[in-house]
Structure 1
Amino acid sequence: MRALLRLRKRLKSRKPEFRRYCWDRKLKLRRKSWRKPRGLDNAMRMEYGGKWSGRKRVKVGFKSPLAVRGLHPSGYEDILVYTPKDLEKLDPKRQAVRIASCVGLRKRLEIEKKANEMGLKILNPSR
């Protein structure tokens, strides 16, 4: 598992930053996520012509290994928790707790106390 996490980190460092078409012309497109170019004569879609010839498009080969896909960088599965009751079903060896942002301070402290008793890792502990 650790070897696959290291491999994923190395693959992600080599992965290009996928920018959508015309991201440099419109300010609002710079923060947007990838969109597939669909125009009939779009040079980026056809992967040739001018500055679009060197741009990388999203393809299946940039995926992470299946065993570690979607895991937290620490290697745990990220589980969103709303109540202390949600902690009962979790496995401390494979899963870590992320407390939802809508949870208030009192309930957050209860969740943290119970998670520490169970030996669960908290990904966003209170300060």
Structure 2
Amino acid sequence: MDRLLRVRARQKAKKPEFRRYDSHKKARLGESWRRPRGLHNKLRQQVRAKGRLVRPGFGSPRAVRGLHPSGFREVLVRCVKDLKRAEGCAIRIARTVGMRKREKIEAMAREMNLKILNPKTEAKSGGE
């Protein structure tokens, strides 16, 4: 698993930025990828200077696809009940969760030994 995560990181470093054709010219076009379909479109014709097309070869290894770089599957948590489905995963607390509920979620997650990807509060040390 660690080897595949390193392979994925190396592949992502080489992968080009896939942006929508002409999105830098026209403000109404977003940057998210859309397949070029025009008859005379140079990107569809794979003219080298126009960029690369999205292809299956740019994907990451199937075993680590969708995993967090730490190697855990990532679960979005909105309430304490959501921690039940997060066994053996890394949790990310939703941005809409307030501070009071966030503290409860973080305390429960520490008891369950779950990795918190976006903690707000530090674990209180016993000496202070």
Which TM-score band applies after superposition, normalised by the shorter structure?
Answer: 0.7 to 0.9
Identity between Structure 1 and Structure 2 (%): 53
Q: Does 1:91 align with 2:87?
A: yes
| Residue 58 of structure 1, CA deviation | 0.6
Would you say how many aligned residue pairs link Structure 1 and Structure 2?
121
The residue that corresponds to 1:26 in the other structure is: 26
Deviation at 1:23, TM superposition (A): 2.9
The corresponding residue for 1:79 is: 75
Does residue 1:8 correspond to 2:14, yes or no? no
- Equivalent residue of 1:32, what SS? coil
Structure 1 CA distance, aligned partners of 2:17 and 2:42? 18
1:14-45 CA-partner distances (Å, limit 9, x unpaired): 1111122113323554x621111111111111
The residue type paired with residue 26 of structure 1 is K
Cα distance, 1:47 vs structure 2 = 1.3
RMSD: 1.6
Measured in 1, the distance between the counterparts of 2:10 and 2:20 equals: 24
- Runs of 4 or more consecutive aligned structure 1 residues displaced over 4 Å after TM superposition: none
* TM-score, normalised relative to structure 1: 0.87
Deviates more, 1:59-68 or 1:11-20: 11-20
Query: C-alpha distance in 2, partners of 1:48/1:7?
Result: 29
Matched, 1:103 2:97: yes
Aligned-partner SS, 1:97: strand
Structure 1 distance, partners of 2:77, 2:10, is: 30
1:69 aligns with 2:90: no
SS in 2 for 1:43: coil
